[in-house]
Amino acid sequence: MNFFIKFRRHLRRMVILLAAFCMVSVIISAYYLYSGYKQELELSKPTPEQDCGDLKLLPYRLFEMKTAKPIDTSRADPMALVFVESQYSQLGQEIVAILESSHFQHHTEIAPGKGDIPALTNKDRGRYALIIYENILKYVNMDSWNRELLDKYCMEYNVGIIAFHKANENSLLSSQLKGFPLNLHTNLALKDCCINPRSPLLHITKAKEVERGPLPGEDWTVFQSNHSTYEPVLLAKPRSTENIPHPITEEILHATVVQDLGLYDGIQRILFGNNLNFWLHKLIFVDAIGFLSGKKLSLSLERYILVDIDDIFVGKEGTRMNVNDVKALLETQNLLRTQVPNFTFNLGYSGKFYHTGGRGRRFGRCCRRNLGTFAEDEGDDLLLKYVNEFWWFPHMWSHMQPHLFHNESVLAEQMILNKEFALKHGIPIDMGYAVAPHHSGVYPVHVQLYEAWKKVWSIKVTSTEEYPHLKPARYRHGFIHGGIMVLPRQTCGLFTHTIFYKEYPGGPRELDKSIRGGELFLTVLLNPVQILD
């Protein structure tokens, strides 16, 4: 009897101890689970200082990053095959414009619905090192026969695909890309984008701080996937939580450009969730071309930039440079030198217009001084005080158009006047570069201009916008005539009648984006050997 009583007491104690142990275990487990959940929440809400360096900010990147296999397109020709929606589609034209500006060979086709695709091989070589689709839906919805042919070609010749998804009012807010473990969320307004610094395709594009502010448009597509083949390249956050799909969370970075490493079906791809209106898309697009073509279609990181400022003394009253303008010019030059070593503005002068307004214009009997002109004369003086801080080139003595003068000696006399002005004010005369007003006489060639340039100034280089024709600018080429190299010139859209930075269309911020993005990138001077073709 005593045995059973003692056994019951021990059993009761064991049950109590077991229950207590279980309770403690539950409490400890709950604590760690809560801590982990809280930490995950903190990771999913980046502070304003955070950038793309922490991939845990992504809702679907919680695993080790994978590496794409090396791209070898040695069996394919250095040409891109571009499938556009129509001959006049905007995005298609922008894609072709970038290829032309970069001097990349390409062939354009209307994306077939059920028709045949062009021949992809020539004997045992591939015709194309890269495939570009203006609309990714044209690719995924191809008929099975052509799709199989294209995919087989890409795998056999190691050819990648670039494609765009541009949402419209008929796009589903959430859907899965047909045939791929990739979800699309469309028609979003985004902000605060940044670049994944670990992306292997980055070449020209640099991953630094976050680009603050709203992205252009409200028709963005973001990509989500749990498959390891997808690597984010460009990321952004929704502007608000209103009217957005359930899986899209505010304050979490979502991929608007993704790289398919080819781990799913053996084909590497880069997908864009919008068009090329955003300046970063242009840079990433060029990098994507270079990466997927195995550097066959790639730009060097070396650039030669010469910024000419013509008519430095020319201008109507109120538009000429004053002292503050000159100081701002010098400060801007010093700022640009932090990014471009030895950057120097190149000033074109017509000596006749130095102090154009005079020290004080006299009007009738009152002999009044025009204070605006006086301030601009001081600007002229300060420019010549800083003469050694800039480069200088002759722009004709009186801004005359050389093609109007068929007498070489008259042209030479005008140039000599400008040369005497330069010697008087300490302006260097040995640059070997000149520009004719309005590029007159450069092309079509005015022989007297070239001969006078060589005799008076020993000119070796000039520039023009007009060979072989004015627009579009990307078609301009250089040439050599009479021993003088003619470089194809570009413009930034600021002319004598719109010289004020603050009045640039869209404001200074848009000008900054233009310079940092596609416009300046596509119009800087390349290696002269490359452009004189």
Instruction: Give residue 23's identity as a one-letter amino acid code.
Output: M
Asked whether the predicted pLDDT for residue 437 surpasses 80, the reply is: yes
308-334: average pLDDT: 89
Q: What pLDDT is attached to residue 96?
A: 96
Name the H helices within 350-495.
371-385, 408-424, 447-457
Q: What pLDDT is attached to residue 285?
A: 97
Beta bridge partners of 76: 126
pLDDT tens digit sequence for 195-248: 999 899 999 998 876 788 999 999 999 999 989 999 999 999 998 766 565 556
Instruction: Give residue 51's identity as a one-letter amino acid code.
Output: D
Bridge-based pairing state of the strands 130-133 and 80-84: parallel
Q: What pLDDT is attached to residue 240?
A: 75
Helix, strand, or coil (residue 187): strand
Per-chain mean pLDDT for the chain: 81
Instruction: Give residue 448's identity as a one-letter amino acid code.
Output: Q
Asked whether the predicted pLDDT for residue 122 surpasses 70, the reply is: yes
Asked whether the predicted pLDDT for residue 125 surpasses 80, the reply is: yes
Who's near 205: CB < 8 A, 6+ residues apart? 195, 280, 283, 284, 287
List the one residue out of 188, 118, 204 whose CA is nearest residue 153. 118
Contact between 518 and 94 (Cβ < 8 Å): no
Q: How far apart are CA 304 and CA 320, in angstroms?
A: 29
Of all residues in the chain, the percent with pLDDT exceeding 70 is 74
Instruction: Give residue 13's identity as a one-letter amino acid code.
Output: R
Q: What pLDDT is attached to residue 72?
A: 86
Cα dihedral 111, 112, 116, 120 in deg (nearest 10) = 20
For residue 251, give Cα distances in angstroms to 33, 52, 190, 310, 502.
23, 13, 10, 47, 33
List the one residue out of 182, 180, 166, 193 whose CA is nearest residue 254. 193
Give me the residue label for tokens 């869209």. Answer: 506
Contact between 245 and 174 (Cβ < 8 Å): yes
Beta bridge partners of 271: 163, 258
Over its C-alpha atoms, the chain yields an Rg (Å, rounded) of: 32
pTM of the model: 0.75
Q: What pLDDT is attached to residue 292?
A: 96
Helix, strand, or coil (residue 37): helix
Contact between 98 and 276 (Cβ < 8 Å): yes
Contact between 350 and 395 (Cβ < 8 Å): yes
Who's near 456: CB < 8 A, 6+ residues apart? 412, 415, 416, 419
Helix (H) or strand (E) segment spanning residue 393 = strand 391-394
Measured from the Cβ of residue 510, the count of other Cβ atoms closer than 10 Å reads 12
pLDDT tens digit sequence for 237-278: 998 766 565 556 656 889 999 999 999 999 999 999 999 999
For residue 444, give Cα distances in angstroms to 87, 441, 449, 450.
32, 6, 11, 12
pLDDT tens digit sequence for 469-509: 888 888 889 999 999 999 998 877 666 554 555 665 555 55
Q: What pLDDT is attached to residue 480?
A: 96
pLDDT tens digit sequence for 360-393: 333 333 333 455 588 889 999 999 999 999 999 9
Q: What pLDDT is attached to residue 389?
A: 96
Helix, strand, or coil (residue 34): helix
400 compared with 249, residue with greater pLDDT: 400
Instruction: Give residue 196's identity as a one-letter amino acid code.
Output: N
